[in-house]
């Protein structure tokens, strides 16, 4: 099995309303890559959010009483805390510098995924800008997939990823927050291991594994390669969505 991940060069800074699919197709051409059935494209959340206009200027945010109450305890701007609360279903944990929440999309993350790094206003460098996650990353992935399949003439998978921390380990890793046309989980229950033992609980988070690999070649700082082309994904493409990856609350031992 060989899987090749190629970061695509020359993707410009993204602005609201930019045609992200056209920009990715142009980058594929620059890289000398034809889009073939079975290929995947992995996009950093940030470029999707920017194209969808998910910038917010903190100068235009009014903090609620709850945000004003929380802010001193976690050493954050009350206006940023207000945005975190708006983007969250529930606050789970707090400490100075971090609020751990259940995001409105259902996953647990720090600070509702709101990003300060590599963010300036949409053609406006004034003010204090932050970037929110896409409204519906699965729908964003599906729309991009339709465009790419029209070029490839066959099935394509699209994955949107972000960087998350983990409960048991230090360091962030790439994880899937939206997908279309590729499996989220590989269910191995009922299969046998090398010694004939039948697996009973094993499910592999293949979308997250791919997200981590793509994040590694994208980089996390000033690399400017927010899209990765993938060829040789070892599992059949099929329909899936973000909720497939989310552990049911009744099975979550950390809440």
pLDDT digit string (tens) for 197-255? 555 555 788 999 999 999 999 976 555 899 999 999 999 999 999 999 998 888 887 77
Q: What is the DSSP letter of 196?
A: S
- Look at phi and psi of residue 106 and say left if phi exceeds 0, alpha if psi is from -120 to 50, else beta: left
CATH fold for domain 4-52+136-239: 60s Ribosomal Protein L30; Chain: A; (3.30.1330)
Q: For 76-107, how does the pLDDT look when each residue is reduced to its tens digit (9 = 90+)? A: 999 999 999 999 999 999 999 899 999 999 99
Q: How far apart are CA 133 and CA 50, in angstroms?
A: 9
Residue pLDDT, tens place only, 148-167: 999 999 999 999 999 998 88
Average pLDDT over residues 140-154: 97
Neighbours of 249 (CB within 10 A): 9
- Supply the pTM of this predicted model: 0.91
Q: How far apart are CA 206 and CA 195, in angstroms?
A: 23
Structure tokens at 159: 């994955």
Classify residue 244 by its DSSP letter. Answer: G
DSSP-derived 3-state class of residue 40: strand
Query: Is residue 113 helix, strand or coil?
Result: helix
| CATH code of domain 55-131 | 3.90.1660.10
Domain boundaries, the chain: 4-52+136-239, 55-131
- SS3 breakdown of the chain: % helix, strand, coil, rounded to 5? 30, 25, 45
Q: How confident is the model at residue 128 (pLDDT cuts 50, 70, 90)?
A: confident
Tell me whether strands 227-231 and 203-204 are parallel, antiparallel or unpaired: unpaired
The pair phi, psi for residue 6, each rounded to 5°, is -125, 110
Identical fold at 4-52+136-239 and 55-131?
Answer: no
């Amino acid at each position: 099995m060989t899987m090749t991940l190629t970061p695509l060069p020359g993707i410009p800074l993204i602005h609201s309303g930019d045609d992200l699919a056209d920009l990715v197709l142009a980058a594929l051409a620059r890289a000398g890559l034809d889009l073939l059935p079975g290929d995947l494209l992995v996009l950093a959340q940030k470029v999707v959010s920017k194209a969808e206009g998910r910038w917010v200027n903190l100068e235009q945010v009014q903090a609620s009483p709850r945000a004003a109450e929380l802010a001193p305890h976690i050493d954050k701007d009350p206006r940023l805390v207000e945005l975190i609360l708006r983007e969250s279903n529930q606050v789970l944990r707090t400490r100075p510098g971090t609020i751990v929440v259940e995001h409105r999309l259902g996953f647990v993350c720090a600070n509702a995924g709101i990003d300060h790094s590599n963010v300036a206003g949409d053609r406006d460098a004034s003010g204090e800008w932050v970037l929110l996650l896409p409204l519906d990353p699965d729908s964003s992935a599906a729309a991009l997939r339709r465009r790419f399949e029209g070029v490839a003439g066959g099935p394509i998978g699209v994955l949107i990823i972000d960087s998350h921390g983990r409960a048991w380990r230090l360091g962030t890793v790439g994880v899937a927050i939206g997908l279309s046309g590729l499996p989220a989980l590989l269910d191995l229950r009922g299969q046998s291991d090398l010694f004939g033992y039948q697996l009973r609980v094993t499910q592999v988070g293949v979308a997250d594994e791919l997200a981590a690999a793509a994040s590694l070649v994208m980089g996390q700082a000033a690399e400017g390669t927010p899209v990765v082309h993938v060829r040789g994904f070892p599992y059949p493409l099929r329909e899936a969505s973000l909720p497939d990856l989310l552990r049911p609350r009744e099975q979550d031992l950390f809440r």
